[in-house]
């Protein structure tokens, strides 16, 4: 059975880029929430995301609609977890707590994902994955505590932190549910467009009440640019790459790349917000990367690659089976320049 990396060699580089899109939600959202209320911002975010995705997903609608109708309740639950809670409540939490606290709480999502899969799917956590998680958590703790144990011991939680904890548990549950076999036949774009549309539908009544009783729609160009930013970068790109990663390597492995949120977030804060880069940022980044590599590196594939390279160095490099040469004897090939007698089972 082929590994996900052999099926798509770009899956792991894609997962390394995914946290950039995720981190942008805090950077852009921090600015947007000053001009737009939480439920209105979340509603506009997912409405615009749905409109953007619709042209890419409509061709797949006819084949996917029977599956969507059969699993509508599950999709509504996922839209509530991933778009309602992890949308509006994240922006609400940013009004009461810092992005650092939110990042620390969200970093526990992979652990919750593994626990949920252990509880409900009987998944076993290997020693290599456990060590990788410990290393990654250590790196996250170094960054969010600025390399000081005293900061860790004096860390206090407020209402914003508790809301972030709820969002983290909701995100972990969403990540596990999206691996349901019933949803595997729905194309990624169609699945995400459906969830974005359902999420906007669930957020709509709360947004209307917010616009009536709290604040109307924003009118400034910077506010709408920030809304477009969270819709395109933090929604379409972030969720599409994350969902594709979950389908390819599983929720536990894809969730581990969430540990890259702190270093990516710090880098973006330095570039876009003018914050200073300090030594503890590098001290935390090293164990995070070490933990990710230890827990996700496809060792078997590297061994096969190493063996192949070693054979090539000794002038006994094997001929690929996909491209038979004149010296390669295959049962389907006739030397008299006739056609293949049987249909090839593996085409280049």
Higher-pLDDT residue of 226, 259: 226
Lowest mean pLDDT among 69-78, 119-128, 337-346: 337-346
Nearest to 38 by CA among 232, 172, 211, 202: 211
314 within some domain:
no
**pLDDT for 89:** 94
Q: Which domain range does residue 146 map to?
A: 11-303
Listed ranges 110-114, 179-183, 206-210, 255-259; the one with the highest mean pLDDT: 206-210
Lowest mean pLDDT among 112-121, 233-242, 331-340: 331-340
The torsion of the CA quartet 21, 27, 28, 33, rounded to 10 degrees, works out to 130
Mean pLDDT of 159-175: 85
Total of domains in the chain: 1
Alpha-carbon Rg for the chain, nearest whole angstrom, is 24
Lowest mean pLDDT among 12-21, 62-71, 321-330: 321-330
Whether 303 shows a pLDDT value over 60: the answer reads no
Under the banding of pLDDT at 50, 70 and 90, the label for residue 305 is: very low
In terms of Cβ atoms closer than 10 Å to its own Cβ (0-12, 13-18, 19+), residue 243 is buried
317 within some domain:
no
**pLDDT for 329:** 45
Calculate ∠ Cα 152-156-161, nearest 5°: 110
Give the torsion sign (CA, 98, 100, 105, 107): positive
Whether 175 shows a pLDDT value over 50: the answer reads yes
136 within some domain:
yes
Under the banding of pLDDT at 50, 70 and 90, the label for residue 37 is: very high
The mean predicted confidence, pLDDT, of the chain is 77
For residues 348 and 344, what is the distance between their CA atoms, to the nearest angstrom? 10
Q: Cα–Cα distances in Å, from 4 out to 126, 161, 244, 254? A: 18, 36, 11, 12
**pLDDT for 229:** 92
Decide: 17 and 79 in contact? Cβ < 8 Å.
Answer: no
**pLDDT for 299:** 57
pLDDT in tens, 185-217: 888 889 989 999 999 999 999 999 999 999 888
pTM for this structure? 0.71
131 within some domain:
yes
82 within some domain:
yes
Higher-pLDDT residue of 2, 342: 2
299 within some domain:
yes
283 within some domain:
yes
Whether 321 shows a pLDDT value over 70: the answer reads no
Residue partners of 200: CB distance under 8 A and separation at least 6: 43, 46, 47, 50, 83
Sequence length of the chain is 348
For residues 72 and 177, what is the distance between their CA atoms, to the nearest angstrom? 13
Whether 130 shows a pLDDT value over 70: the answer reads yes
- Angle at which helices 261-273 and 279-296 pack, to 10 degrees? 140
Calculate ∠ Cα 79-82-84, nearest 5°: 70
144 within some domain:
yes
Dmax (CA) of the chain:
83
Residue partners of 314: CB distance under 8 A and separation at least 6: none
Whether 328 shows a pLDDT value over 50: the answer reads no
SS3 state of residue 34: coil
In terms of Cβ atoms closer than 10 Å to its own Cβ (0-12, 13-18, 19+), residue 68 is middle
């Amino acid at each position: 059975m082929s590994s996900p990396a052999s099926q798509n060699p770009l899956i792991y580089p894609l997962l390394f880029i995914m946290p950039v899109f995720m981190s942008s939600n805090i950077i852009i959202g921090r600015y947007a929430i000053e001009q737009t209320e939480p439920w209105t911002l979340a509603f506009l975010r997912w409405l615009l995301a749905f409109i953007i995705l619709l042209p890419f997903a409509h061709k797949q609608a006819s084949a996917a609609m029977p599956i969507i109708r059969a699993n509508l309740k599950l999709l509504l639950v996922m839209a509530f977890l991933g778009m309602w809670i992890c949308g509006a409540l994240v922006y609400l939490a940013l009004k009461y707590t810092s992005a650092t606290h939110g990042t620390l709480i969200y970093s526990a999502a992979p652990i919750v994902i593994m626990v949920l899969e252990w509880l409900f799917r009987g998944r076993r956590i290997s020693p290599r994955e456990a060590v990788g998680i410990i290393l990654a958590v250590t790196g996250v703790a170094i960054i969010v505590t600025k390399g000081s144990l005293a900061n860790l011991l004096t860390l206090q939680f407020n209402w914003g932190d508790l809301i972030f904890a709820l969002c983290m548990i909701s995100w972990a549950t969403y990540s596990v549910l999206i691996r349901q076999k019933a949803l595997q036949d729905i194309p990624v774009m169609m699945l995400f467009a459906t969830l974005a549309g359902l999420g906007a539908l669930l957020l709509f009544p709360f947004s209307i009440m917010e616009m009536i009783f709290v604040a109307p729609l924003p009118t400034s160009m910077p506010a709408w640019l920030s809304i477009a930013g969270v819709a395109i970068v933090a929604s379409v790109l972030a969720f599409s790459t994350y969902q594709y990663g979950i389908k390819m390597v599983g929720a536990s492995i894809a969730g581990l790349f969430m540990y890259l949120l702190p270093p990516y977030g710090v880098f973006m804060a330095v570039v876009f917000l003018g914050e200073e880069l300090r030594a503890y940022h590098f001290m935390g980044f090293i164990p995070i990367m070490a933990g990710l590599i230890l827990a996700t590196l496809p060792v078997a594939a590297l061994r096969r690659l190493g063996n192949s390279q070693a054979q090539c160095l000794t002038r006994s490099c094997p001929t690929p089976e996909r491209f038979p040469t004149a010296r390669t004897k295959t049962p389907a090939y006739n030397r008299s320049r006739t056609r293949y007698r049987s249909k090839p089972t593996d085409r280049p």
